[in-house]
């Protein structure tokens, strides 16, 4: 009932939202982003960073930050033009492209980043009143904490957002953004400071001759939030008239504006004061700017409050969109956060929650501490966005057709630099941060098992990697004769549902050292009905394969006869990247017609140059404790292939602790040298066969080979016996093992190299 009610509510919401005119455009995205970019760090920390690192150091910091944010802006713009964008910003874009699990993981990370950003900008806002607080301290002798400013301001912002919604907040945003740009303009037209009255003095412009990288990543962690406002504009996606146009233009324009302004600010700082003065006075900008004693505190208040408003508008909408998709495992929690107020579905409850998070950080946090936390969250989010963009490019999915296009190497660069920067800032925090992301994803996956997950990000990239690898391997086939052998087996059977042993055998062959492709054979002409039947059976076989954890590829062949199906199978190209080299067929020892069918079609296997294995299955359960018995003849070309196959099967957990026993039938007077030769080969080729398990078996004059094999291997878990082309016309060769368990008859087209 909940799902039906939710669907009905969603339909009503869509109908209402479609009736509400969405008037916001490029300007809203640009202003929301640029006011977050040109915020507190510009006024409070850029001077300190310039003095600490020197001019070239701060330029390097700005460029490094934008080597992350510009690829992220391009990635967001690209993703936004590949799908119809609704409310939820970056979360909506990612979740609709790669599934709700990935989208929610990154979306929750972004929400926390944006919610903590509210606190950051509010704390920074209080810094504008530092002179007033110092004056009060001088007059009454009591130093008031900055929380007396920051907490009331946070409450005022929350009241405005909750009462008036995004429209009123955006109008306020335009006003205070104008004040911020006016303050920046006054800074640029200001004159260099004089050293009179400053505690620390130095040569004006000496920052141009300083290049200090010792504290580079400490300052980077503090200053990086200055560049992270680009996702704020995307968060208004649900209120945009044309998101596919507004998001790319507004986001990229804001990012480039930030880059230019920060470089110019660094030049102005370096040319207007000494390094010592810049470090000593965080608000030295007020000494440089025209009317700075008034305009810079006003500009700082304007920039921080505008950034705070932007974060306050965006963070709740991200959380609301996540809850609307029923990501959280608790029904009431989804309803609570998804609930909106009024025609525009203003996210009241989500805003209250964002306010509570911000309040905690405002009450206990400092500017630099909160800046470090924001930096790690944003670096994770931005790195993930760049990675997703790169995988889209690499995967080359036909459905990925963005109007705006970035370049794969730009996205890859953004991802690599974000990860590298996190480790340079703090390796331990980086590991902890990514561990939290992994745990968050696992939690979301557990609660939303039916939704698309991680595979949707990587499947295109894996397809491309596999495609290119296959082409590369094929081009290297000229030296295939010199390379080591490994099995690439084909199997055709129509009995896998009732005889699981053939699937097990193929799973053993392809578990670690080889590859197996199993074809289910459906007899009949290829029609809609036979295809539907094959699809149903394939799904059942894939489920069996998944439960058994076999690395086996399963497909189907529909043909009017077994020879026709065999002809199709042996001509099928391998998906493993190497040529198929073995055909493995099975029959029930009680059904002689099945064996005859295999032997009649042996010529097709021979024509393809395939090694051939015929698996005789019985009703007896395989006892792996009795191991694998291999019967060889000293001069037989099948010997090496059987020994190698026994070794390949031993890699599977089912056989891992089972012994391999090798038997050599012959005369006692020949046994000593033959056994020694075999032991020498086993030792030199490092095969897991103990010498005590190598046995020369005497064949008496009255005994046949079949009798000797039955005598020694009737209780074996699996017995391997070679056969030749001459045996193909002798059905009795295969049928004379009445007391045996499962047997794998093996024929090699040529002697295989064990080494």
3-class DSSP state for residue 744? strand
HSE-up (13 A, CA, CB side) for residue 692: 1
How many other CB atoms sit within 10 Å of the CB of residue 209?
A: 12
Asked if the structure places residue 601 within a domain, the reply is no
Token digits for 418? 């974000």
Question: What is the length of the chain?
Answer: 755
Q: What is the pLDDT of residue 492?
A: 93
d(CA 96, CA 388): 13
- Residue 677, domain extent: 618-755
Indicate the DSSP class of residue 520.
E
CB 247 within 8 A of CB 77: yes
- Cα distances from 465 to residues 320, 367, 412, 486, in angstroms, run 37, 45, 16, 21
Asked if the structure places residue 8 within a domain, the reply is no
Q: Where are the alpha helices (DSSP H) in 619-704?
A: 639-650, 671-684
Q: How far is CA 591 from the centre of its chain?
A: 49
Indicate the DSSP class of residue 207.
G
- Identify whether residues 405 and 344 lie together within a single domain: yes
How many other CB atoms sit within 10 Å of the CB of residue 313?
A: 26
CB 323 within 8 A of CB 333: yes
CB 487 within 8 A of CB 613: no
Q: What is the pLDDT of residue 420?
A: 92
CB 497 within 8 A of CB 537: yes
d(CA 293, CA 436): 44
Give the residue from 594, 600, 641, 609 showing the smallest Cα distance to 490.
609
CATH of the domain at 75: 1.20.1740.10
d(CA 237, CA 32): 12
d(CA 78, CA 97): 12
d(CA 383, CA 385): 5
Q: What is the pLDDT of residue 200?
A: 47
CA-CA-CA-CA torsion for 249, 254, 256, 259, nearest 10 degrees? -170
Token digits for 277? 């003065």
Q: How far is CA 188 from the centre of its chain?
A: 45
Q: Which residues contact 45 (CB under 8 A, 6 or more apart)?
A: 219, 222, 223, 226, 282, 367, 371
d(CA 631, CA 712): 10
The beta strands (E) that lie in 338-390 are given as none
Asked if the structure places residue 592 within a domain, the reply is no
CB 153 within 8 A of CB 129: no
Asked if the structure places residue 380 within a domain, the reply is yes
- Identify whether residues 234 and 118 lie together within a single domain: yes
How many other CB atoms sit within 10 Å of the CB of residue 202?
A: 18
> Which residue matches tokens 């730009």?
410
Mean pLDDT, each 10-residue run in order, the chain (755 residues): 43 42 73 80 85 91 92 85 69 75 82 83 76 73 74 82 62 77 89 58 69 84 80 70 82 90 91 85 84 82 76 83 84 85 77 88 72 77 83 67 81 91 86 83 76 60 66 58 72 88 89 87 90 90 80 89 93 78 91 90 91 92 89 80 87 86 72 63 60 72 81 90 89 84 91 65
Asked if the structure places residue 9 within a domain, the reply is no
- Identify whether residues 450 and 526 lie together within a single domain: no
Q: What is the pLDDT of residue 3?
A: 43
Asked if the structure places residue 403 within a domain, the reply is yes
- Identify whether residues 193 and 318 lie together within a single domain: yes
Indicate the DSSP class of residue 484.
P
CATH of the domain at 704: 3.40.50.620
- Of 585, 609, 626, the residue at which a domain comes to its end is 585
Token digits for 90? 């970056």
CB 143 within 8 A of CB 133: yes
Q: Which residues contact 596 (CB under 8 A, 6 or more apart)?
A: 731
Q: How many domains does the chain have?
A: 3
Q: What is the pLDDT of residue 391?
A: 80
- Identify whether residues 662 and 564 lie together within a single domain: no
d(CA 629, CA 662): 6
- Identify whether residues 283 and 197 lie together within a single domain: yes
- Identify whether residues 111 and 162 lie together within a single domain: yes
Give the residue from 541, 550, 544, 545 showing the smallest Cα distance to 521.
541
Q: Which residues of 659-689 are buried (b: 16+ CB within 10 A; e: fewer)?
A: bbbbbbbbeeeeeeebbeebeebbeeeebeb
- Identify whether residues 677 and 752 lie together within a single domain: yes
- Identify whether residues 628 and 755 lie together within a single domain: yes
Q: What is the pLDDT of residue 64?
A: 93
Asked if the structure places residue 12 within a domain, the reply is no
- Identify whether residues 447 and 491 lie together within a single domain: no
> Pairing between strand 611-617 and 743-747?
antiparallel
Q: Which residues of 10-39 are buried (b: 16+ CB within 10 A; e: fewer)?
A: eeeeeeebeeeebebbbebbbbbbbbbbbb
Q: What is the pLDDT of residue 451?
A: 62
Q: Which residues contact 363 (CB under 8 A, 6 or more apart)?
A: 147, 151
- Identify whether residues 387 and 531 lie together within a single domain: no
CB 721 within 8 A of CB 631: yes
pTM above 0.75, yes or no: no
Token digits for 658? 């089972």
d(CA 584, CA 561): 18
Token digits for 521? 């054979």
How many other CB atoms sit within 10 Å of the CB of residue 498?
A: 7
CA-CA-CA-CA torsion for 591, 595, 597, 600, nearest 10 degrees? -150
Asked if the structure places residue 606 within a domain, the reply is no
Phi and psi angles of residue 738, each rounded to the nearest 5 degrees, phi first? -75, -30
d(CA 299, CA 178): 9
Give the residue from 423, 307, 330, 318 showing the smallest Cα distance to 375.
423
CA-CA-CA-CA torsion for 204, 206, 207, 212, nearest 10 degrees? -150
d(CA 714, CA 741): 6
- Identify whether residues 631 and 575 lie together within a single domain: no
């Amino acid at each position: 009932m909940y799902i039906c009610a939710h669907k009905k509510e969603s339909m009503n919401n869509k109908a209402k939202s479609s009736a509400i005119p969405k008037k916001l455009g490029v300007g809203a995205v640009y202003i929301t982003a640029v006011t977050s970019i040109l915020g507190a760090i510009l006024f409070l920390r850029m001077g300190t960073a310039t003095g600490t690192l020197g001019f070239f150091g701060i330029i390097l910091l700005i460029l490094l930050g934008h080597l992350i944010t510009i690829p992220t802006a391009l990635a967001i713009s690209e993703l936004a033009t590949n799908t119809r964008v609704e409310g939820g910003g970056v979360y909506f874009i990612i979740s609709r492209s790669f599934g709700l699990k990935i989208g929610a993981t990154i979306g929750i990370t972004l929400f926390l980043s944006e919610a903590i950003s509210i606190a950051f900008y509010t704390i920074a806002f209080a810094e504008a009143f530092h002179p007033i607080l110092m004056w009060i301290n001088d007059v009454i002798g009591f130093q008031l904490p900055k929380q007396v400013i920051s907490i009331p301001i946070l409450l005022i912002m929350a009241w405005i957002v909750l009462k008036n919604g995004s429209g009123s907040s955006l109008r306020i945003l335009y006003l205070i953004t104008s004040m911020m740009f006016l303050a920046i303009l006054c800074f640029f037209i200001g004159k260099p400071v004089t050293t009179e009255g400053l505690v620390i003095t130095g040569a004006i412009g000496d920052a141009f001759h300083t290049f200090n990288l010792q504290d580079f990543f400490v300052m980077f962690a503090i200053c990086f939030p200055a560049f992270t406002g680009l996702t704020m504009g995307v968060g208004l996606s649900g209120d945009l008239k044309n998101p596919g146009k507004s998001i790319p233009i507004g986001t990229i324009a804001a990012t480039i504006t930030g880059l230019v302004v920060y470089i110019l600010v660094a030049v102005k700082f370096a040319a207007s004061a000494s390094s010592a003065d810049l470090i000593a006075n965080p608000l030295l900008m007020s000494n440089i700017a025209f009317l700075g004693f008034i305009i810079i505190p006003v500009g700082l208040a304007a920039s921080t409050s505008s950034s705070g408003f932007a974060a306050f508008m965006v963070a709740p909408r991200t959380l609301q969109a996540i809850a609307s998709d029923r990501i959280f495992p608790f029904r009431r929690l989804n309803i609570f956060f998804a609930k909106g107020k009024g025609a525009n579905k203003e996210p009241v409850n989500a805003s209250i929650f964002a306010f509570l998070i911000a309040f905690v950080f405002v009450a206990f946090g400092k500017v630099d501490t909160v800046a470090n936390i924001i930096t790690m969250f944003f670096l994770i989010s931005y790195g993930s966005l760049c990675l997703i963009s790169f995988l889209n490019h690499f995967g080359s999915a036909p459905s990925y057709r963005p109007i705006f296009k970035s370049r794969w190497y730009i996205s890859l660069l953004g991802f690599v630099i974000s990860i590298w920067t996190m480790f340079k800032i703090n390796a331990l925090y980086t590991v902890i941060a990514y561990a939290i992301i992994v745990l968050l994803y696992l939690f979301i996956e557990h609660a939303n098992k039916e939704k698309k997950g991680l595979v949707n990000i990587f499947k295109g990239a894996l397809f491309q990697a596999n495609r290119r690898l296959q082409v590369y391997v094929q081009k290297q086939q000229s030296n295939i004769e010199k390379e080591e052998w490994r099995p690439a087996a084909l199997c055709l059977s129509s009995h896998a549902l009732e005889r699981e042993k053939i699937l097990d055998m193929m799973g053993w062959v392809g578990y670690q050292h080889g590859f197996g492709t199993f074809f289910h054979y459906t007899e009949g002409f290829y029609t809609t009905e036979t295809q539907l039947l094959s699809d149903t059976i394939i799904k059942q076989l894939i489920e069996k394969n998944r439960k058994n954890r076999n690395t086996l590829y399963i497909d189907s062949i529909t043909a009017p006869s077994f020879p026709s199906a065999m002809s199709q199978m042996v001509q099928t190209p391998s998906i493993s990247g190497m040529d198929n080299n073995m055909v493995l067929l099975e029959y029930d020892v009680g059904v002689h017609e099945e064996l005859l069918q295999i032997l009649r079609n042996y010529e097709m296997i021979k024509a393809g140059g395939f090694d051939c294995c015929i698996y005789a299955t019985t009703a007896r359960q395989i006892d792996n404790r009795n191991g694998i018995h291999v019967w060889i003849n000293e001069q037989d070309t099948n010997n090496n292939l059987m020994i190698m196959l026994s070794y390949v099967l031993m890699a599977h957990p089912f056989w891992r602790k089972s012994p391999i026993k090798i038997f050599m039938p012959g005369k006692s007077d020949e046994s000593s040298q033959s056994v020694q030769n075999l032991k020498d080969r086993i030792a030199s080729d490092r095969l897991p066969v103990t010498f005590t398990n190598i046995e020369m078996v005497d064949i008496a004059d009255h005994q046949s080979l079949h009798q000797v094999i039955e005598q020694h291997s009737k209780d074996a878990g699996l017995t391997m016996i070679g056969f030749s082309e001459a045996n193909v016309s002798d059905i009795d060769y295969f049928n004379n093992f009445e007391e045996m368990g499962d047997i794998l008859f093996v024929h090699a087209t040529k002697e295989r190299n064990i080494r």
